[in-house]
Structure 1
């Protein structure tokens, strides 16, 4: 594969300049105003190509940058930015090109020369402000097709609503179904301003992979209730989603996989152990311990992060383990009475009705099943390629506990298993905060670019084997 190297050299020459130019140069030397969209028309044989380089400042004097050339179907091509003094180096994997330019502070332009494989063309890039992420402005149309869909799960007798994104072109394309973590989540995996599933879907679709993401049961227009659906029951949702993709003309039915996060990874692996499995599975921080061990470990991890006294941590652990055992091993009626009593003992101000309600929430079919759920029990039936991906900063599912257990069991019977750990990435697959996006003066979380590219590269590599 050829590589593109785009060099943007911002040259300042204060000698002989008037006072206005000198002030502009001084301001430029202090802060290079690179954040925004840089657009221009590149002269090529037979016409011109519209291209855009978008640059977003990050924390720690770093940048996110991407190249778009719509006519050549180049979309959001990842770009590394290195700043040394008043010079900027942009490196883009793809083809061998370079752009050497001089920054005009008065006109807010880059004037220079584009060089690709010895072919030199003059090019002017003009600055345009980045569209704001706040307010109720119009959403920019992505460079792919979006379709609101509804598909049926005949096993559970319910419909699930979602979004199907398909790359531009006729296809057929490889595709994935995204499966969410614990609890009722929307199709984007929304947590505050962060959209785990939405971000991953956008990244993959821009790079040639169709993506189906859907609202969990009881969320949006999806039927059913997540509280009454066990982990095993959710497998039929994934199977229904995969079968929906199999019915689409633009999808390559031999390359439909499942990408699950947390519990969703376990659901995807369960689906892979059944007839008509997905072609591959990507596990994002999948759980490798039993449900009870997972929830207890999360409680301990949270308390230790808050520097709670170790004696208090141990006492809370034993108390919670006793409660979980009661929920698992006694009848629902008996369990509700006992758990309600335990809650009132732990919280004297809790009234009888409130305690009964809180106990009922701990006794849902999902909760009772998940406590006994062993995620490695059926892994010997998984024969498709599997990517296990975890972050070293995951407190909810520490890789040394969960990924290690999954990897050991899978590799004992599946030689197509790959396991990777990403430095500094947390359970939501966010990089360290120093690498978050700085937008409108605020730090905004983002899906780890390294994780996104790792997923894409592994998936695309499967098609070459």
Structure 2
């Protein structure tokens, strides 16, 4: 029988608490800040880094990938957003990064919907508009993964950013993304192809139950029962926990989310960045679909970087050695392409 446990939740890069070694004072200003999302009635806390000099500077707000993330975007011991903020600020770009809702010093409930995250992005932009160091005509959003989709949605609303950078945003509907992640996981475990097909069919049946059953308690009970019947070895309590996560407002929203629906309304310049070693999504499919959806936007640019993964780390052979051990770094090619493109918007 099929013994591989189903992976049914939206794959998320989990925040992790790690010890951080002391670092030298950077050649730019750092400030702990707080700002309000008045629509959601919550406070968001973050770090603003400003280049040395008088300014005003081109500026960006960083948006994290799916799941509760701190302002540094920690994934294991790799702080993607912190590294990116440091890289950009050293090169003349002011950066705001902040703790997600319910994480670190930010208030609010964890696991907001994508629509709710858009209001957090708008709150970050409005805060930056109060800062004299920020060039108001060059204020953009940089989003990683799901954060890229949040940034694109924010660009369709009043008071949009002046540009958007998407780092591996997706184009396929949420339910399709979940199915592809399930398939990738099972194939990585060398599961028999026929069993993979059956697992995807069962997953789709669960999705349909969730879509058609608005009563959360009933939907949870049905999904948990389906999971147990599909895998008798699954602990009943674990099935209930997973099923409960699958009927949350965030999961329901993501299941029906169409990333392309509003993209024709995006008028600002957009830079899309992908790595060919990304195992979280199909790069060719998603990059092509997003580029096509933005075809009426004259400022769309897409780059793909060989060997770069979803965290925008280069191939392991390019990692620097620390105490004789290779340590992941931010892809120099991707980060420099982003910097050059952002600075290029200032000239235009």
How high is the TM-score relative to the length of structure 2? 0.92
1:144 Cα deviation (Å)? 0.4
Write out aligned runs for 1:192-211 (5 A).
192-211=76-95
Q: 2:23 aligns with which of 133, 139, 143?
A: 139
CA distance in structure 2 between the aligned counterparts of 1:454 and 1:302, rounded to whole angstroms: 31
Aligned partners of 1:284 and 1:390 also within 8 Å: yes
1:139 Cα deviation (Å)? 1.9
Q: Which moved more, 1:317-326 or 1:154-163?
A: 317-326
Write out aligned runs for 1:139-218 (5 A).
139-218=23-102
CA distance in structure 2 between the aligned counterparts of 1:393 and 1:301, rounded to whole angstroms: 13
CA distance in structure 1 between the aligned counterparts of 2:272 and 2:128, rounded to whole angstroms: 23
Structure 1 gap segments, 5+ residues each? 1-133
1:136 Cα deviation (Å)? 6.9
Q: Does the alignment pair 1:439 with 2:322? A: yes
> Residue 459 of structure 1 aligns to a residue in which SS?
helix
Q: Which moved more, 1:199-208 or 1:298-307?
A: 298-307
Shift in CA distance, 452/137, structure 1 to aligned 2, threshold 3 Å? closer
1:351 Cα deviation (Å)? 4.5
CA RMSD of aligned residues (A): 1.5
Aligned pairs, number: 330
Q: 1:248 aligns with which of 122, 131, 154?
A: 131
Write out aligned runs for 1:65-464 (5 A).
138-227=22-111, 229-331=112-214, 332-411=216-295, 413-464=296-347
1:312 Cα deviation (Å)? 1.5
CA deviations 1:426-452 (Å, max 9, x no partner) are 111111111111101211111101000
Shift in CA distance, 137/361, structure 1 to aligned 2, threshold 3 Å? closer
Q: Which has the higher contact order (CA 8 A, sep 6+)?
A: 2
1:359 Cα deviation (Å)? 1.2
Aligned partners of 1:177 and 1:213 also within 8 Å: yes
Shift in CA distance, 398/135, structure 1 to aligned 2, threshold 3 Å? closer
Relative to its length, the structure with more strand (as a share) is 1
Equivalent position of 1:3 in the other structure: none
CA deviations 1:392-415 (Å, max 9, x no partner) are 11121221111111110001x211
Relative to its length, the structure with more helix (as a share) is 2
Highest CA radius of gyration, 1 or 2? 1
CA distance in structure 1 between the aligned counterparts of 2:20 and 2:151, rounded to whole angstroms: 36
Aligned partners of 1:160 and 1:223 also within 8 Å: yes
CA distance in structure 2 between the aligned counterparts of 1:135 and 1:272, rounded to whole angstroms: 36
> Residue 286 of structure 1 aligns to a residue in which SS?
coil
How high is the TM-score relative to the length of structure 1? 0.69
> Residue 463 of structure 1 aligns to a residue in which SS?
helix
1:348 Cα deviation (Å)? 2.2
